[in-house]
Homo-oligomer: A and B are copies of this chain.
Amino acid sequence: MSILVVGSVAFDSIETPFGQVDEVLGGSATYFSTSASFFTDVNLVAVVGEDFPDEHREMLAGRGVDLSGLQTSPGQTFRWKGRYGFDLNEAHTLDTQLNVFESFSPEIPESYKNAEYVFLANIDPELQLEVLQQVEKPKLIACDTMNFWIEGKREALVKTLAHVDVLVINEGEARQLADQPNLRKAAQTILALGPKSLVIKRGEYGVIMFSEHSIFSAPAYPLEEVFDPTGAGDTFAGGFIGYLASTRNLSEANIRQAIVFGSVMASFNVESFSLDRLKTLEYKEIEDRFREMKLLSDFEPIN
């Protein structure tokens, strides 16, 4: 079952304590699609400029990502420049050039409109709503957002959330959205806005998911080398939604496994710059690390 993702495709320039790269392939939709492509087909909607090279299109298409929804507009592709210190949890933005992304208006190709699984990556909530108006009747709508939209477009965001099944955001965003420092209380506030599940990304501390009747906490895979955290959240979402779409099963047990698959994908992605690690990754490695995650978190029940 294929997934529709709407988000950004970008060139990233990144400095970490371990190295530096210029204008490598990045963007939320790119990370999401590449990650999800290990589990299912992906239909991508995004915009790039005339400077976007065939090489990147070929990489994505070669992974089963359909690019009929990738618009090419006159001008330059979105560029982001950031730096991480030894605290790899926090990115310091040095420069953002929206370029063609500034006037992005998502057009969903006819062939995508019956999408059963939809991921709205972190874009303007008004655009997220436009996407939802174009799709027919998805089984699952998941969405991401960020502090910028929570602060500046709260009303539109709340409208979007009323249609969303799973909101995937980070811890600070959850607290900000609910205006509540306690995460469990924040989750109640957010679930009341519409989502059936709230998946909170906590970086090296893993993921915690709140639903009406359950809470699930998954650790992050403890890596010896975290090289570049860029894209970890979208890579997580790609593995998470990708596994759900491939299994077509929205039971609690399957959603929990999907979260662990998402965590596994993110753990691989941060081992290199850009999508370098995902490009060489094999499905067997994903399964092996899933099993390690089970060993990592397992303990015996009591009677």
Contacts and interface: CB of A to CB of B under 8 A. Distances in A.
A24 interface: no
Task: Report copies per complex.
Answer: 2
Contact of A260 (B219, B294, B299): B299
Of the candidates A206, A217, A299, the one having the most CB atoms from chain B within 10 angstroms of its own CB is: A299
A219 B219 contact: yes
B300 A184 contact: no
Given A205-B202, A205-B205, A218 B185 contact: no
Contacts of A260: 299
Interface in A208-260: 208, 214-219, 222-226, 253, 256-257, 259-260
A interface, how many residues as a size bin? Answer: 35 or more
Nearest to A224: B184
Contacts of A181: 86-87
A291 interface: yes
A299 B224 contact: no
A20 interface: no
A295 B297 CA distance: 12
A214 B292 CA distance: 10
A123 B252 CA distance: 46
B222 A184 contact: yes
A301 interface: yes
A47 B297 CA distance: 39
Contacts of A226: 182
Interface in A39-80: none
6 pairs of A and B residues whose beta carbons are closest in the complex: A217-B219, A256-B299, A205-B205, A86-B181, A184-B222, A184-B224
Interface of A: 86-87, 181-185, 202, 204-206, 208, 214-219, 222-226, 253, 256-257, 259-260, 287, 290-291, 294-302
20 contacts: A182-B223, A184-B223, A185-B224, A202-B205, A205-B206, A206-B219, A208-B222, A214-B295, A215-B296, A216-B296, A216-B297, A216-B299, A217-B222, A218-B299, A253-B300, A256-B299, A259-B299, A287-B302, A291-B302, A297-B297
